[in-house]
Amino acid sequence: MNAIPIISLKRLHGTPGEASELAREVDEALTQIGFFIIVDHGIDPERVRLADAEARNFFALPLADKMRIRSTAKGSPRGFVPPGAASLARSSGQLAPPSDIRESFGMGPPRLPEGVTAAARAFYSANVWPDTPLALRAALECYYAAISELGQAMFTLFAQALDLPTGFFEGVMDGHNSTLRVNHYPAQPEAPLPGQIRAGAHTDYGAFTILLAQNASGGLQVRTRAGDWIDVLAPEDSFVVNIGDLMMRWTNDRWLSNLHRVGNPSQALAASEQRQSLAFFANPREDLLIECLPTCASADNPPRHPPVLAGQYRLSKILATGA
């Protein structure tokens, strides 16, 4: 597969035949390349544009203003992460890559969910918000709620694609600690360091990611199984979905948690081209035990990974980046 498939969600609640065909397409995409693009997802484009616009207003502030809400929570960044603070490539085993050319703002659930166990509670940290722009909090919380609902729909779709009962994943997001990360990739008036790019090659750590991305120079790239890097060109008002390490372990490596990166803009545009993305990392509840799904193992294909707690696995990967 040398391109990211574009999949319409209109069939999610269609006839049994339509739903089956949709599930087959998703299974093929996640088996072959680990990514697909969704359209007809039902999220109001104005809600998306408002969140994107208010985030741009935040990143346009002077660095000193943004640093007032600098993230201090190790392993669960909430608030502002300044440029040069992290290198995603370290989470994939690279020992000393340059820091990423990006800054970010992160938030999690607006409120600590009820019924969270003491073991899981340790993974939660409070959101922090700037004094300005005042509309940022409402815009991002509204977006977070909408994407969380879309995430529930993804779990329904994944159950169908894996030949599991429709409600198999119900409850795995109860008390979830999903993160919305807004990434700002500034212009590059000065040449990057050797090997330095906007975001180094990495896999995501949770169940899956729902990404709103721009089509601009220096964007998301995905590695094919042949080892080539391809650009992800998403239609307007669409989202890019990819699975993370936990889902790959869940499916006994049937689905691919694939390497991806964010490249630099072309030399002609580097001094002026900025880019922004909104990434929702769908994380199951922190104390959920991730072990091989019943439809993903057999006598000839036994489980390849030991069981792991969702929160502990993600924490180890996040800390490796330096964030």
Q: How far apart are CA 211 and CA 182, in angstroms?
A: 10
The pLDDT tens digits for 142-160 are 999 999 999 999 999 999 9
pLDDT at 243: 96
- Whether the full predicted model's pTM is greater than 0.85, yes or no, is yes
pLDDT at 95: 61
pLDDT at 115: 65
Name the band, by pLDDT with cuts 50, 70 and 90, for residue 121.
Answer: low
Is residue 69's pLDDT more than 70? yes
Is residue 70's pLDDT more than 80? yes
**Four-CA torsion 150, 50, 187, 74, nearest 10 degrees:** -60
Give the CA distances from residue 18 to residues 23, 24, 35, 260, 301, in Å, rounded to whole numbers and listed in that order. 9, 10, 21, 30, 30
- Rounded to 5 degrees, φ, ψ at 155 are -65, -40
- Domain residue extents for the chain: 6-321
Q: Which amino acid is at 170?
A: E
Scanning the structure block, which residue is given the tokens 């750590």? 205
pLDDT mean over 154-180: 89
Query: What fold is seen in the domain 6-321?
Result: Jelly Rolls (2.60.120)
Residue 59 corresponds to which tokens in the numbers above?
A: 């990143």
pLDDT at 318: 75
Name the band, by pLDDT with cuts 50, 70 and 90, for residue 90.
Answer: confident
The pLDDT tens digits for 251-297 are 999 999 999 999 898 888 888 889 999 999 998 888 889 999 999 99
Q: 46-79: string of b/e by CB count within 10 Å (b at 16+)? A: eebebbbebbeebbeeeeeebeebebebeebbbb
